[in-house]
């Protein structure tokens, strides 16, 4: 069994100052996929990871203090793939993959479109290109787990105020339709597959005491290929864990 946790930290240095290492020691995942490191590797003291037996694999953005993904793993992967072969996206540090035998764990931070129309256009272009990339990747790596911050709440059950947010980035009809297409291409939403009626969230705005009021969105996912889905043994959302405006989400995969 392999437990894989995905966590958007909204800045790894800030999260470490809020007790991330103590939580990691207690949670003890086999693999931790982090989004929004907002740091270069040489800016972070990783000694605490090494003391717990973890190795670290980074894909930072060219722009300091921005984006970035990181995989922390107890087992040394057979292969690490940095980026998705698109220089524009790869400069933003959005995709990293670790292969363990026939299991591939891909950590993604999908762009946000909340800052305006230009970034929303980039987000939609990324979504299309990312799906094309995954479709090709699955030919050689069918046992694929795609986890991370998708920046999309898929259905009304995944957001606290669906009617009030229908025109907001992250819940736009075209974004939700893309998730439909993504799942239709042969992926399974692990949490929703096991918990079809559970209302719980993984992100809350810092504004208006949103977390205390549980006015959240489910933006963080573990998406499994249909080939991998029979090995799914559990999935959950750790919404009591607070180092970020997101919380960790986890899956257990039979190895």
Give Dmax (Cα) for the chain. 48
Cα dist from 86 to 69, 95, 133, whole Å? 16, 10, 10
User: Which one, of 180, 159, 183, lies nearest residue 171 by Cα?
Assistant: 159
The Cα–Cα gap between 11 and 230 comes to 34
Q: Is-catalytic flag, 129?
A: no
Q: Which residue in 30, 107, 149, 252 is the catalytic one?
A: 149
**Under DSSP, is residue 246 helix (H, G, I), strand (E, B) or coil?**
strand
Residue 226: other Cβ atoms inside 10 A: 13
- Please, how many CA atoms are within 13 Å of residue 159, restricted to the half-sphere of its CB? 21
Catalytic residues: 149
């Amino acid at each position: 069994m392999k437990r894989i946790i995905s966590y958007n930290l909204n800045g790894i240095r800030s999260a470490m100052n809020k007790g991330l290492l103590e939580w990691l020691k207690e949670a003890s995942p086999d693999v931790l996929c982090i989004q929004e490191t907002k740091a270069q590797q040489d800016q972070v003291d990783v000694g605490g990871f090494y003391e717990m037996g973890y190795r670290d694999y980074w894909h930072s953005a060219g722009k300091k203090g921005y984006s970035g993904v990181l995989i922390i793993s107890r087992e040394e992967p057979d292969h690490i793939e940095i980026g998705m072969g698109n220089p524009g996206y790869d400069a933003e540090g959005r995709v990293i993959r670790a292969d363990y035998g026939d299991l591939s764990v891909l950590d993604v931070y999908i762009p946000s479109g909340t800052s305006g129309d230009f970034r929303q256009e980039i987000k939609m272009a990324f979504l299309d290109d990312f799906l094309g990339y995954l479709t090709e990747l699955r030919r050689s790596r069918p046992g694929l787990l795609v986890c991370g911050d998708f920046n999309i709440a898929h259905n009304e059950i995944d957001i606290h105020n669906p009617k009030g947010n229908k025109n907001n980035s992250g819940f736009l009809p075209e974004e939700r339709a893309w998730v439909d297409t993504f799942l239709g291409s042969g992926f399974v939403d692990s949490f929703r597959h096991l918990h079809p009626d559970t209302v719980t969230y993984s992100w809350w705005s810092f504004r208006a005491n949103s977390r205390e009021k549980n006015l959240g969105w489910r933006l963080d996912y573990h998406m499994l290929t249909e080939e991998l889905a029979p090995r799914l043994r559990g999935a959950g959302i750790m919404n009591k864990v607070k180092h970020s405006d997101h919380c960790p989400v986890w899956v257990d995969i039979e190895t």
